């Protein structure tokens, strides 16, 4: 992997076009794989595929399960082909194909879709054995996940810590009785997860036949109100009532006087280590079943993490705490010898973080939108300062698009520095291609470009603005927006930058 120059596109499943209000794992996902192949791209990166919910604005980085899948991405077309939906069922899922995702409407329709597919499965589906095999293979997380979802509904969506104590503390007899009482709902939730897994693995196999590898994304922390913390409270810093004693965040810096208070529970690394880091090994193995390569978000917290007392209103009074990252990655390397991990090492990085990353041969990240600050010639994000063992992006899901940044966010100093660096001023309608070419010509073994930058879209296509609570994660590509001209231009740049080795296939 790391010895071959290549490139790819960052596009979340939700951003694909479809007639159902949100991108899914159906025909448009296969068409996108075809586009990637034609454009000579070898990687498709997505955001986390875990379940999302409206209370957290459907952020893919805030989920109630680190192992389960997002059923909003189920394809009605494939379910219809499988005989699990009628044409009327499928049509009732239809929503306008706009440039944003109407999450509430999609959520309502997809929940009904799973219900009807489950009813059809019980009545007539001919291959139940594959479902049984899935339940057996995924039992280590699936049983608890399905019970958690059903109990959340039973207790009016209250956080698990506020459930009756026999359920909060997982008394075996109470859980056994609940599993018996709510068996049909539990089975339905498992079936939805099976449908996703089946559709995803089919898409993954198709991508592999097209020469495309899939890159996933693992948020380092999990949510407090999650099946993960409910099932394994011993691996998190909680009190006797299972409430958080410390929460995660980052300290004050140039951008924020109060730091960032994320609120996620922090790990009890001593307990994880005593257990041989099994929870983390299971999590990484699960992701590597679904992806060829994974990016781990906030990698620096594997060296030190900023722990804030749960009673604090800001992140100011936190402290850096040591994390046994070397021990963890030594275990990872034994379990996964090629260690196909990208370390998200953005922000202020200390020598111990670099030592951990470099010691295990993990590629870090460079982002071109960060390259042209006041002392830009020293910037680690300039193309010539990238190393072969790194991944370069024009921007990430947390940044403005290149055109949005160029037109609205760049400081006068950054514009001056960029013009000096390039030796010319660049018109706004060309800046995205200039930045793509800079990324492609860098030394980094892998260049990844957000789809919005290839399409040349402005700030309206931004995926996420950190520290804002609404309006995020909604952008979608419109049908046919990825024009043949853009595909061909990307293919030519890819070959010219020697990120496509099979030149004989270039038409």
Does 501 score more than 60 pLDDT?
yes
User: Are 365 and 344 in contact, with CB atoms under 8 Å apart?
Assistant: yes
**Torsions phi, psi for 10 (to 5 deg):** -95, 115
Give the residue numbers spanning the domain of 317. Answer: 232-362
Of the residues 297, 307, 345, 381, only one is catalytic, namely: 297
Does the annotation mark 297 as catalytic?
Answer: yes
pLDDT digits (tens, 9 = 90+) for 7-57: 999 999 999 999 999 999 999 999 999 999 999 999 999 999 999 999 889
Catalytic residue among 312, 327, 398, 437: 398
In a domain, 91, yes or no: no
User: pLDDT-based confidence at 348, cuts 50/70/90?
Assistant: confident
Catalytic residue chosen out of the listed positions 28, 225, 344, 414: 344
| CB 439 within 8 Å of CB 10 | no
pLDDT number for residue 503: 42
Residue with tokens 């339940």: 135
Q: Is 333 a member of any domain?
A: yes
Q: How far apart are CA 51 and CA 64, in angstroms?
A: 7
Query: Is 467 domain-assigned?
Result: no
Cα angle 164-268-156, degrees, rounded to a multiple of 5: 25
SS (H, E, C) 307-328: EEECCCCCCCCCEEEECCHHHH
Active site (annotated) includes residue 344 = yes
Whether 21 is in a domain gets the answer no
Domains identified in the chain, total number: 1
300 falls within a domain: yes
Tell me the per-residue pLDDT of 236-270, one tens digit each, with 9 for 90 and over.
999 999 999 999 999 998 767 899 999 999 999 99
Q: At residue 126, does pLDDT exceed 60?
A: no
Residue 1 is predicted with a pLDDT of 57
Count of CB atoms within 10 A of residue 208's CB? 13
Alpha-carbon distance of 501 to 40, in angstroms, equals 10
- Give the pLDDT score at 125: 61
> Would residue 91 show up in a list of annotated catalytic residues for this protein?
no
Q: What is the mean pLDDT of the chain?
A: 95
Average pLDDT of 279-293?
98
Give the model confidence (pLDDT) of 161-213 as tens digits.
999 999 999 999 999 999 999 999 999 999 999 999 999 999 999 999 999 99
Asked whether residue 458 is domain-assigned, the answer is: no
Is pLDDT at 136 greater than 90 in this prediction?
yes
> What number of CA atoms fall less than 13 Å from residue 285's CA on the CB side?
16
Residues 6+ apart with CB under 8 A from 310: 243, 244, 245, 246, 247
pLDDT at 439 over 50: yes
pTM (predicted TM-score): 0.96
pLDDT at 371 over 90: yes
What would the mean pLDDT of 103-119 be, rounded to a whole number? 96
What residues have CB less than 8 Å from 125, skipping those under 6 apart? 82, 83, 84
Predicted confidence (pLDDT) per residue in 392-429, tens digit = 999 999 999 999 999 999 999 999 999 999 999 999 99
Check residue 2 and give its pLDDT: 62
Give how far Cα 236 sits from Cα of 40, 244, 246, 327, 393, Å.
Answer: 44, 8, 9, 18, 33
Q: 456, 476, 343, 326: which is closest to 403 by C-alpha?
A: 456
């Amino acid at each position: 992997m790391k010895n071959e120059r290549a490139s790819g596109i960052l596009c979340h499943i939700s951003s694909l076009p479809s007639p159902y209000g949100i991108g899914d794992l159906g025909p448009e996902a296969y068409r996108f794989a075809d586009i990637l192949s034609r454009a000579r791209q070898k990687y498709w990166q997505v955001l986390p595929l875990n379940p999302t919910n409206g209370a957290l604005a459907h952020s893919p980085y805030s989920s109630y399960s680190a192992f389960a899948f997002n059923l909003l991405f189920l394809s009605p077309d494939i379910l219809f082909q499988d005989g699990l939906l009628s044409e009327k069922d499928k049509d009732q899922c239809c929503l306008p194909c706009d440039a944003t995702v109407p999450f509430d409407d999609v959520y309502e329709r997809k929940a009904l879709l799973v219900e009807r597919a489950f009813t059809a499965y019980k009545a007539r589906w001919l291959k139940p054995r594959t479902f049984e095999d899935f339940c057996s293979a995924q039992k280590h997380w699936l049983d608890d996940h399905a019970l958690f979802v059903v109990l959340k509904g039973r207790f009016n969506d209250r956080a698990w810590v506020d459930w009756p104590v026999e359920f909060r503390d997982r008394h075996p007899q109470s859980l056994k009785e609940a599993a018996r009482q709510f068996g049909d709902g539990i089975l339905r939730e498992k079936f939805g997860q099976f449908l996703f897994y089946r559709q995803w693995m089919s898409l993954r196999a198709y991508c592999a036949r097209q020469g495309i590898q899939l890159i996933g994304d693992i948020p380092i922390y999990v949510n407090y109100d999650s099946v993960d913390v409910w099932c394994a409270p011993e691996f998190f810093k909680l009190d006797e009532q299972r409430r958080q004693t410390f929460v995660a965040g980052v300290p004050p810096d140039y951008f924020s006087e109060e730091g960032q208070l994320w609120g996620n529970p922090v790990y009890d690394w001593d307990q994880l280590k005593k257990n041989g880091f099994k929870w983390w090994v299971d999590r990484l193995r699960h992701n590597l079943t679904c992806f060829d390569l994974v990016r781990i978000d906030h990698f620096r917290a594997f060296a030190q993490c900023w722990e804030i007392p749960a009673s604090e209103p800001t992140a100011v009074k936190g402290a850096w705490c040591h994390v046994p990252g070397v021990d963890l990655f030594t275990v990872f390397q034994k379990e996964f010898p090629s260690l196909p991990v990208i370390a998200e090492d953005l922000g202020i990085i200390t020598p111990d973080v670099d030592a951990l990353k470099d010691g295990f041969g993990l590629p870090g990240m460079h982002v071109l939108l960060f390259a042209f600050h006041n002392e830009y010639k020293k910037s680690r994000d300039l193309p010539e300062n990238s190393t072969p063992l790194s991944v370069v992006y024009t921007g990430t899901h947390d940044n403005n698009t290149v055109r949005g940044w160029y037109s609205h966010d760049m400081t006068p100093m950054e514009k001056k520095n960029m013009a000096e660096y390039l030796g010319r001023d660049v018109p706004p309608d060309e800046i995205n291609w200039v930045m793509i070419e800079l990324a492609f010509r860098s030394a980094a073994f892998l260049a990844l470009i957000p789809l919005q930058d290839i399409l040349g879209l402005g700030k309206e296509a931004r995926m996420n603005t950190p520290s804002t609570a609404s309006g995020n994660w909604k952008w979608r590509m419109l049908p046919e927006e990825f024009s043949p001209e853009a595909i061909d231009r990307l293919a030519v740049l890819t070959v010219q930058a020697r990120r496509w080795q099979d030149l004989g296939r270039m038409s």
